[in-house]
Amino acid sequence: MTPEIETQNLLEDAARGLMARGEGLFLPIYAPSGTGKTTLANNLDKFLPGLFLSTIAFSGSVNAEALQRETVQHLSKFAANDQRIVPINIDHREGSPPTGEELAEIKRFLRHPGSGEKSLILWPDTRQALSDSMSRAYTDIAGKPPVELPVAISGPPKETWRDIAKTTLRLVNAIDSLEDLGVEPNDYDPNAFTSLGGFLREISDDFAKLVTSMRREMRKSLRLAILFASESSDAGILTHLTSSNQFGLLDGSALLDSSPDSEVGKWWKSRRGLLTSTIVRLDARAFSLPPSASVGILRRYGSDEIKDSLAKLGVRLSGESTVKRNIERCDLGKYLLGQSKAILETKGTPTTTSLLAFQYLAEAGFTSGRDKVLNHAMADALTDFSSALGLGYTTKSEKQLDFCPLIPDNSLNFEREAICLEYTWRASDFMIAKNRGNIAAYCLRKLRNYSRELGWAPE
């Protein structure tokens, strides 16, 4: 979302003036709501990378000590000899200009060696009168600035809005084939809107309504999560098959690129729109289930045969609280709790013990119905997980859903939706690059099975 050249030139002039004077600059900026002030202020390092570091989103009290503390902490992330400017965006005070005392604090900070002297404080507002007022007040106490204040911000030209809308929707929703869903920014007229923000909101609202209507077509909302249980301790290659900004959400294009010659890959290639809509309708995700979680679950909830075997291997019987903690720490637990992706922890059963235990289970094999026993254990563990944390679902294992013909490995049933969990138990460290095609094909097969059972795809 590149700003107009005039705006870029004004910001570059401000940066050059700041550098020449050897002291920081207070820069009120104004533009109508929806123009892109916040986007601009938060992305100066993208628009003018040679002049600016990444922006500090400042939301504390406006005083020299607080500004100094956050700036020093921010600068510690960069080389000591990096001479680029630190933008500081004060975006929480729109409509509330700085007091005289705060302006004095800003002035004091902007003259502080090594930090304030290389800082640009941006104070955005929608009203020119307020920006004019704070500019005059600051000039009165700090002297004439190197550029004329305040700075009027101009957003991207209207002829670029449609491309911006496409890029924004794809980034936010992690979906490449938006037009396959009937979302076409080219059908919207930028001239009918006074701001880019209004233009984007209109398209975004229509997209949200479309997704909602698609999901309402089902009697009950349905979600799908595919679990790869193996010796792997983290997501591994799954990070290349799922969205970078939506936790575990499958990326249709990445799946097809990773398994182009498989039978299921060829089948989906001619149905890209259906693949996109299937992922959207099912909110389809994929996660790794590490031994640190699975082995403890099987030791406590597995069949008597599995429990005895694991006990002989030295796997101790963990209490319900320990099993709950290990589920919380893996990606499945984070998903069920609605948390963002974090670095996977592998605490609980010691890594060496859990690896040996999983290897033992793999030697016995996961086919011929043996995996069903493991799926039952997972269901029992997730039942207790729900009870302990009040998540409100009931669990079924290998049972048909009551509102459609699907028979998932596990189903977590809420009043108005169900989450289907499909497990694949694999030997060895499975989430590695050489298995990328197999993993992608497995996900594509599950998506095809679901789309067929739900009547979305032809046989």
Over residues 62-78, the mean pLDDT reads 93
- Read off the pTM: 0.58
Q: Lowest-confidence range among 153-157, 206-210, 246-250?
A: 153-157
Bond from prior residue into 150 cis (ω within 30 degrees of 0): yes
Q: pLDDT tens digits, residue range 381-436?
A: 999 999 999 999 999 999 999 888 899 999 999 988 899 999 999 988 899 999 99
> Is a pLDDT exceeding 90 seen at residue 43?
no
Residue 340 is predicted with a pLDDT of 63
178 vs 344: which has the higher pLDDT: 178
Domain ranges of the chain: 5-152, 158-216, 221-453
Over residues 20-32, the mean pLDDT reads 89
Residue type, 372: K
Residue 344 is predicted with a pLDDT of 35
Mean pLDDT of the chain: 85
Over residues 68-76, the mean pLDDT reads 93
Q: pLDDT tens digits, residue range 285-330?
A: 999 999 999 999 999 999 999 999 899 888 889 899 999 999 999 9
> Is a pLDDT exceeding 70 seen at residue 39?
yes
Token pair 């900026």 is at which residue?
Answer: 29
pLDDT-based confidence at residue 4 (cuts at 50, 70, 90): low
CATH of region 5-152: 3.40.50
Give me the residues paired with residue 418 across strands.
Answer: 222, 413
Over residues 142-166, the mean pLDDT reads 77
> Is a pLDDT exceeding 70 seen at residue 379?
yes
> Is a pLDDT exceeding 60 seen at residue 354?
yes
Distance from chain centroid for Cα 83? 32
Over residues 92-116, the mean pLDDT reads 92
